[in-house]
Amino acid sequence: TTVLSSRSTFVSEGDESVNFTDAVIYEKTNLIKKNDAVARSTTKVPSYSSYAVLNEGEQKVFYEYFRKSTYTATLRKKVPAKTDYGPKTLYIFVEDAMWGINGAKINQDFIDSQADAFLKEGEYNDIYDYVTSIFSEEWGPHNYKNLIDDKNEIVIVFSQFGTNTNVNSGVVGYYWNAHNFKSSYYSRSAESILLNMNAYITFNHQKISLTTMAHEFQHAIHYYNRTIKKKDESATWVNE
């Protein structure tokens, strides 16, 4: 999680950050325990076998961690590209209530520039190439039946975080590994490698938006390569 303030730090995940041993056999992974999730999951997020079925302009429902509720977002950009880890597709969604409004003012020019910075054709010319060249791939094969398959898809969603509309202070973005689970196991999961971005702050601080994307993306990479593959955790100083 990246916080726009005088320092960068984690935001506590509260009661969502609980341990389980029945899915990933490592007791300190801070993932989602099934019986707890089912008890608190009041709205099921529609699942997709792949985001590839969606075209630009189509909608999807997502769960927002700070609001503890769902919202509808529209796919504003779909970018396929070849990488050192094979073909990848980037999907950028914007919460419908954040599109072109006063305050956030998210528009297509902004989304196009963010997408171009994160993933495009060519070698070592985007965030994806730079970060994966250092830390490895964000997702891949694993032995856990309750985790999503490797679909070579990355999702970025720009939305309002909680009730905060401040463009100069607050959480800029976060990665939440609950979305790496199949929705049949955790119904709030978007079943994707998902980066959540604060619509208000990012539009008004576009360079910070890009550095935050890179930072949250490496959290996703650490989760796969350390927690899932090695049943281990990165030291905080490394992961941050």
Which pLDDT score is estimated for 32?
39
Which pLDDT score is estimated for 107?
95
Do the Cβ atoms of 202 and 103 come closer than 8 Å?
Answer: no
Tens digit of pLDDT for each residue in 179-213?
999 999 999 999 999 999 999 999 999 999 999 99
Written as six digits, the tokens of 60 are 């999807």
Which pTM value belongs to this model?
0.83
Termini Cα distance of the chain: 9
Which pLDDT score is estimated for 200?
93
DSSP assignments along 41-103, one per residue: --SPPPP-S-GGG--TT-EEEEEETTTTEEEEEEEEEEEEEEETTEEEEEEEEEEGGGBT-TT
Q: Which of 23-27, 133-137, 200-204, 228-232 has the lowest mean pLDDT?
A: 23-27
Q: Which of 72-76, 87-91, 98-102 has the lowest mean pLDDT?
A: 98-102
Which pLDDT score is estimated for 100?
87
- Distance, in Å, from the CA atom of 59 to the CA atom of 240, rounded to the nearest integer, reads 33
Written as six digits, the tokens of 131 are 């970060």
Mean of pLDDT values over 11-20: 30
Residue 3 host element (H or E): strand 2-4
Residue 175 host element (H or E): strand 170-175
- Sequence-separated (6 or more) residues with CB below 8 Å from residue 154: 88, 89, 90, 91, 118, 119, 128, 138, 192, 193, 195, 217
Name the packing angle between helices 108-118 and 206-222 (round to 10°).
40
- Distance, in Å, from the CA atom of 240 to the CA atom of 238, rounded to the nearest integer, reads 5
Task: List, in sequence order, every residue forming a beta bridge with 69; answer none if it has no partner.
Answer: 64
Give the whole-number percent of the chain exceeding pLDDT 70.
Answer: 75
Written as six digits, the tokens of 236 are 């905080």
Which pLDDT score is estimated for 13?
34
CA distances 53 to 1, 34, 80, 91, Å, are 30, 28, 13, 11
Which pLDDT score is estimated for 230?
86
Cα torsion 159, 164, 167, 173 to 10°: value is -50
